[in-house]
Amino acid sequence: MRKSLLSLVLIAGLFLPIGASKAQDTNTVTATCKDGTAFTGTKRSGACRGHGGVQSWGTAATTTGLAATPPAPTASPSPRTAPSPGGGAGQVWVNTASKVYHCPGTRWYGKTKQGSYMSEAEAKAQGARPDHGKACTS
């Protein structure tokens, strides 16, 4: 009986936090990416992936139900910053190595090693094809 009770307490301890609420356990990490975008998450791992890396880390704040304020962008970006995600309205990202263009909101939009933003019509005129055969506009 005693061993069973001890086993039950140990198993419950794995699933139930003791003495700490969830609001106290979650920390918010903020960062400014090298392309000027803001990152907010619970851990540093993977921060600013696809945005050129981390330019500067913000302060970690304990969440209490209020959203953390992202750091303000710098007044003048450095000359070596990557293109910002989103080339603007009607712009696609063309991977110049593979001649494939990616639509806004898709996985590889603005994230391939080589590429540039342009209109979908311009991309087609240069011989690029849509990713997975799906054009952005119908």
Q: Contact at 8 Å (CB) between 52 and 34?
A: yes
**Whose structure tokens read 């590889």?**
108
The count of C-alpha atoms lying within 13 angstroms of the C-alpha of 127, restricted to the half-sphere facing its C-beta, is 4
pLDDT in tens, 102-114: 998 888 888 888 9
pLDDT in tens, 50-98: 888 888 887 544 334 445 455 555 554 444 445 545 677 789 999 999 9
Q: What percent of the chain has pLDDT over 70?
A: 63
Q: What is the mean pLDDT of residues 29-45?
A: 85
Please name which of 110, 75, 67, 115 lies closest in space to residue 95, comparing C-alpha atoms. 115
Q: How far apart are CA 32 and CA 27, in angstroms?
A: 17
- pTM exceeding 0.75: no
Q: Contact at 8 Å (CB) between 129 and 99?
A: yes
